[in-house]
Structure 1
């Protein structure tokens, strides 16, 4: 059983009216909804931006001040470690009680210089003792801060000995832990762990940072560039640290809305600060969003109430406006129905007025489209196909051609009939720029410009799209300068309107209609003359002078000059000969010009190969050169490519020769060093004089070829022989040193310790004993 509502019956008879109401209401809801969202979002965004920017400014200032305090402590530790009393004590293997007391007093002065300093140690690795500002003298094994001892002894952690965040158990007060930042100043890094250790109280250092703002439940965290926690107002695990790091940007400051795992949204503010370029700290502050945006909820509720009132008022206005809009539409529908003698809605047709109106218009459009397609198929495409076949194929009789002319409505007088071709220049680039569909449209546009430009003359013509790179024109015009000028004007119009350059060729007059294909092919070949005369030219077959078709060959004396220039690496001579030859090629017809240029290229290639120790690159291949001729189209473009190839190849040949010569010089220098190794006067100057080179040039050459300076090479060879002699004999060390060319003992000891990390005596004792034990075991 169906239920019917009497009030809805009139509305069903006017579905268009209902659609108008629906569209207006939907648009009203959409506009109001977007306005409400934008208002709420903009207000929240504005407040957040103000709070975020202010919090960022406070955090940046706090970070800078904290970084300055840390930098002061760092500078203070470095300057304090340079105290001669502390340095001597840390590197001594014995000391007196007075010296110990004096050092302890200095450590106390360092500690008392700043309230942020928690404690100061002086570690002596030679006596295995530690002087602490808090406890005085301690044995290293019994010292309460074993963590720093282990860090300094471990090579992996010793490299990170500046600004170490850690927790320190404080003696004398129940080993209460304290967060500190440790600064270590080594006195002999790599040789011992003797060092000055300064511990900065982290909470004392971060006082300024903690007093930045008064937000409740805020969290402050400071991370270093190794993602270690320098300071945190609440303990963090590694997962939380990784989460903070993934949402903050290193080297930048800013803020964002951030929601930690299993927590509500928070405002995260972050800033970066560098501590003397040694370490970067990231300062992060998080504030719960309810603390910031608690009062915005009231604003949202008020806005929703106001928007509801506005919606009701707008809906009333929409209903009234829809009635006014619908009346003209209903009148238009009635007029169209009367004009086409159609049935009224509801009596066999669609009751939707707009659908009915659309169906009438669609039917008319389809009829027009069908007529247009039929006319185009019969008159344009058919005639285009015939003319393309007429030029590109051979018709057997004049009668067959005449009947096709009559069928397709082609009106061309048979006298003075000829072919002109408009060929697109730089077609390889043209093909890359335009798709096949676009190329078809451009050729169509070229045909239209030709017809508009030449149709005004008294001569008949037909344009034919031959595909690829050219459009042909079949025309009936006697040879005249006037028509030639018309062709040139048409060529200029194509470039002006389409930005396409063309080469134009006008062939000879047809003896008969059956010769059309042959004349078309001759005219297309005539466009190839642009190879020697350049693009944008216009060629008229009847006006071209007959030039003997002889190939140009490079004279013997020119070949000899090129061979000499190649052996000397003189590209200018080779290029000059090429340019002079090209001038002579320009007077030859296209085919002879092209073949002569290929012959010239192959002659130069042969001479290049004779003077090159390596095979020439593939660019010198005949296929590569022919491809360049096709792509570049003109000799003006091909010749610079050939000149650049010649220049590059000559540079490679010269570089190969130079490299071979340098290798020989280095070999002579190494041999001379071996021969004169015991001479104290052996130096870079002595080597340069021996090789007849300047000192500066020889130093640079040797460094570039070996990646090692001459002085380092001589020292390395001498040290190698000295080490062998130390293990092979019991001769005094000073005598061995003098035997191998070292005149200064201080210089030798400095170099030896830098290379081997020990004195010659220690080296002999360590490795000679080891060799003796090994020999005993083998025996």
Structure 2
């Protein structure tokens, strides 16, 4: 006989009880898990912050001390280079052995002044020699440190001759490489490479930095502001240097965690400092995150044991609480089943007690909601449809309209009715941004705001969503300033709550119910008057003048004034006439104003076409002009658009006129320069006088058309002829220069060297040698 444990069958009969147990246990596990994760994360975060802040403080101090050592070396090198004996030796073209020995002794004294100094050179460009504290006198071509010689000879690298990080191969030691910081002091910068050179041992300089901390796998790197590696405790490639620079900020200090491309997650500490304002260094220290957080593993394991004990205790309490919670639920289900004479669970109904109970309540509630919602929807849709037809179409009799009022519960009188329309401003922009569904919701919200703000009045009303850009309101209120102010309040509330501006128009009183469509169309047309009154206006039919005005035509004297301004390219005069015309147009109704504007544009278009050598753009077409006027909606928007269009078109006409004239002037100026090239008085003023122009205007015109100044053009032409003469003849340089208009030799030499990078004599030798080799 097999033994059967009674627990599984009991649990099957009470699935709700099992769910309660499951939910409580899941919640318990979730809370404990989140608590553990937060504790572990917060402890790691706190530890990292403390270590990061402490490491940042140490690195900042080390960076400052290292910078002071470097600044001392910099000051020492500059003061040492000012030694008169060294300076005289470096600039002399001859010397004795005793002089060389004296200089070498001084260099040795300078080197021995500080152990961080690796070596000191004195370079004499006139004798092509180098006196070195290590080897004595050397020929520059055979000197072991050719790198510094090449750097000083290159104009680009010579400009960065202070604090140069580089690798120096040491003589007498098998060319053992050593990292040094080189400081160069030129004695004649730009004329020769005679200089004082001091090499600082980078390893000795960075002693404080190396002893900053004792973390395993720690890496220290120093970069200058040109992203050159000043010092690195480990070998880095260019990608690793770029990665450190991207994460470490210049001239700032701090720390952060980042994922290294090759070494995993790292703690980076960085500090910036300036060396005498000459160069900025960034000190970067990286430590693997695993090294810092290695000991937190013990804390995590201890926490896991503690949480497991808490979980077991919580599970026991959960089981006991679930039993007490389940008993009242079971009693409630039995009572509901008896009351509704329902079937037992499992016979057509869900076996879950809570699902069964929920289904009973939901079914009843859904029935009630469905019937209520269907009645409301039919009532609302039917009333909306009738009101739209009432305004949009013509009903045959007042009796038919009255019966529809009764059917749909519309409480409005049968006389003394009028229509007000709330029309959305800038609707074309709104419709491009929002879908039809969103626009329908907006109109629904507008209707509710209007209904709520006006229903407190003793007069009755009905709001109607007419689609597109407006909501109509059927009013029983007689014309009065008081009710007009109420409409204005509704307008302000719509803008306040929906951020939508509206124009409100209130039409005339309704003669009879069958005329509602005609009154509605008149009122909608009345909203067009925002063209002259502007957006957010309140327009009342009874307050406007009744008789239409005449169309505006541009007077003959104004046309003549515009024609004269166009011939001179004077846009301000044209715009002045336009603005005076706009003042008169503002007094007209919408239709007369729009037609007058179109007529005004066509007159201006005709006058511009007469003064333009090419057809006007399509934006001046009749259809385009009318479309733009309608889209602008108000005169305030039309005026700046109109002024911008006229100004741009007139600028294009003027530019087309002046283009051919400027080209001819430049060609005439270039011919005159070639004819008067040997005249020493040839200048911008001479050219301007010849062309009968002001000097400043001609300078600006020539620079704008050729992207070159007149002085540079004259010098360029003269130098071309002088170079040809230098190569083809043996004449002295000075007569050649004077023949081509240069009155000052110093000026000529400066311009020639700037243009060709060498003296005239060097240019003659170089190109003659080249011609000789070609002939050979």
- Checking the alignment, whether the CA contact within 8 Å between 2:91 and 2:126 is kept in structure 1 is yes
**Deviation of the 1:593 alpha carbon:** 1.8
Task: Provide, for residues 198-231 of structure 1, a one-character-per-residue CA deviation record: whole Å limited to 9, x for no partner.
Answer: 3221211111212223445533333456665433
**Deviation of the 1:597 alpha carbon:** 1.3
Q: Counterpart of 2:492?
A: 495
Q: Counterpart of 1:446?
A: 446
- Does the C-alpha gap of structure 1 residues 398 and 238 become closer, same or farther in structure 2, counting only changes over 3 Å? closer
Q: How many angstroms apart in 2 are the aligned matches of 1:634 and 1:559?
A: 26
- Does the C-alpha gap of structure 1 residues 2 and 579 become closer, same or farther in structure 2, counting only changes over 3 Å? farther
Q: Counterpart of 2:479?
A: 481
**Deviation of the 1:529 alpha carbon:** 2.4
SS of the equivalent of 1:137 reads strand
Q: How many angstroms apart in 2 are the aligned matches of 1:41 and 1:102?
A: 68
- Does the C-alpha gap of structure 1 residues 581 and 144 become closer, same or farther in structure 2, counting only changes over 3 Å? closer
Q: Counterpart of 2:553?
A: 553
- Checking the alignment, whether the CA contact within 8 Å between 1:131 and 1:138 is kept in structure 2 is yes
**TM-score w.r.t. structure 1 length?**
0.84
**Deviation of the 1:557 alpha carbon:** 1.0
SS of the equivalent of 1:528 reads helix
- Checking the alignment, whether the CA contact within 8 Å between 1:508 and 1:542 is kept in structure 2 is no
Of stretches 5-14 and 52-61 in structure 1, the one that deviates more from structure 2 is 5-14
CA RMSD of aligned residues (A): 4.2
Q: Counterpart of 2:101?
A: 101
Q: Counterpart of 1:357?
A: 357
Q: Counterpart of 1:387?
A: 387
Q: How many angstroms apart in 2 are the aligned matches of 1:582 and 1:108?
A: 90
Q: Does 2:198 align with 1:198?
A: yes
Q: How many angstroms apart in 2 are the aligned matches of 1:530 and 1:202?
A: 79
**Deviation of the 1:59 alpha carbon:** 1.4
Q: How many angstroms apart in 1 are the aligned matches of 2:234 and 2:425?
A: 75
Q: Counterpart of 1:66?
A: 66
- Does the C-alpha gap of structure 1 residues 72 and 441 become closer, same or farther in structure 2, counting only changes over 3 Å? same
Q: Counterpart of 2:640?
A: 640
- Checking the alignment, whether the CA contact within 8 Å between 2:182 and 2:199 is kept in structure 1 is yes
- Does the C-alpha gap of structure 1 residues 538 and 229 become closer, same or farther in structure 2, counting only changes over 3 Å? closer
Q: Counterpart of 1:464?
A: 464
Q: Counterpart of 2:763?
A: 763
**Deviation of the 1:700 alpha carbon:** 6.1
Of stretches 139-148 and 234-243 in structure 1, the one that deviates more from structure 2 is 234-243
Of stretches 658-667 and 345-354 in structure 1, the one that deviates more from structure 2 is 658-667
Q: How many angstroms apart in 1 are the aligned matches of 2:84 and 2:678?
A: 41
Matches within 5 A, 1:95-494: 95-124=95-124, 127-148=127-148, 163-173=163-173, 175-184=175-184, 195-215=195-215, 218-224=218-224, 229-235=229-235, 248-249=248-249, 252-257=252-257, 267-275=267-275, 280-287=280-287, 292-345=292-345, 348-393=348-393, 408=408, 415=415, 419-431=419-431, 434-451=434-451, 462-474=462-474, 480-482=478-480, 485-486=482-483, 488-494=485-491
- Does the C-alpha gap of structure 1 residues 700 and 361 become closer, same or farther in structure 2, counting only changes over 3 Å? same
Q: How many angstroms apart in 2 are the aligned matches of 1:316 and 1:549?
A: 93
Q: How many angstroms apart in 1 are the aligned matches of 2:422 and 2:347?
A: 62
Q: How many angstroms apart in 2 are the aligned matches of 1:253 and 1:424?
A: 56
SS of the equivalent of 2:342 reads coil
Q: Counterpart of 1:601?
A: 601
Unaligned residue ranges in structure 2 (runs of 5+): none
- Does the C-alpha gap of structure 1 residues 691 and 4 become closer, same or farther in structure 2, counting only changes over 3 Å? farther
- Checking the alignment, whether the CA contact within 8 Å between 2:418 and 2:475 is kept in structure 1 is yes
**Deviation of the 1:252 alpha carbon:** 4.4
Q: Counterpart of 2:506?
A: 505
- Checking the alignment, whether the CA contact within 8 Å between 1:503 and 1:535 is kept in structure 2 is no
SS of the equivalent of 1:443 reads helix
Of stretches 160-169 and 370-379 in structure 1, the one that deviates more from structure 2 is 160-169
SS of the equivalent of 2:48 reads helix
Unaligned residue ranges in structure 1 (runs of 5+): none
Of stretches 166-175 and 79-88 in structure 1, the one that deviates more from structure 2 is 79-88
Q: How many angstroms apart in 2 are the aligned matches of 1:36 and 1:633?
A: 64
- Checking the alignment, whether the CA contact within 8 Å between 1:547 and 1:589 is kept in structure 2 is no
- Checking the alignment, whether the CA contact within 8 Å between 1:491 and 1:504 is kept in structure 2 is no
**Deviation of the 1:2 alpha carbon:** 11
SS of the equivalent of 1:178 reads strand
Q: Counterpart of 2:522?
A: 522
**Deviation of the 1:296 alpha carbon:** 3.3
SS of the equivalent of 1:481 reads coil
**TM-score w.r.t. structure 2 length?**
0.84
Q: How many angstroms apart in 2 are the aligned matches of 1:607 and 1:82?
A: 78
- Checking the alignment, whether the CA contact within 8 Å between 2:454 and 2:490 is kept in structure 1 is no
SS of the equivalent of 1:471 reads strand
Q: Does 2:752 align with 1:752?
A: yes
**Deviation of the 1:132 alpha carbon:** 1.5
SS of the equivalent of 1:342 reads coil
**Deviation of the 1:566 alpha carbon:** 4.0
- Does the C-alpha gap of structure 1 residues 520 and 127 become closer, same or farther in structure 2, counting only changes over 3 Å? same
**Deviation of the 1:507 alpha carbon:** 4.4
Q: Does 2:51 align with 1:51?
A: yes
- Does the C-alpha gap of structure 1 residues 330 and 644 become closer, same or farther in structure 2, counting only changes over 3 Å? farther
- Does the C-alpha gap of structure 1 residues 266 and 554 become closer, same or farther in structure 2, counting only changes over 3 Å? closer
- Does the C-alpha gap of structure 1 residues 228 and 770 become closer, same or farther in structure 2, counting only changes over 3 Å? closer
Q: Counterpart of 2:717?
A: 717
- Checking the alignment, whether the CA contact within 8 Å between 2:532 and 2:586 is kept in structure 1 is yes
Q: How many angstroms apart in 2 are the aligned matches of 1:676 and 1:87?
A: 48
SS of the equivalent of 1:468 reads coil
Q: How many angstroms apart in 2 are the aligned matches of 1:454 and 1:145?
A: 95
Kindly tell me the number of residue pairs found equivalent between the two proteins: 772
**Deviation of the 1:554 alpha carbon:** 0.8
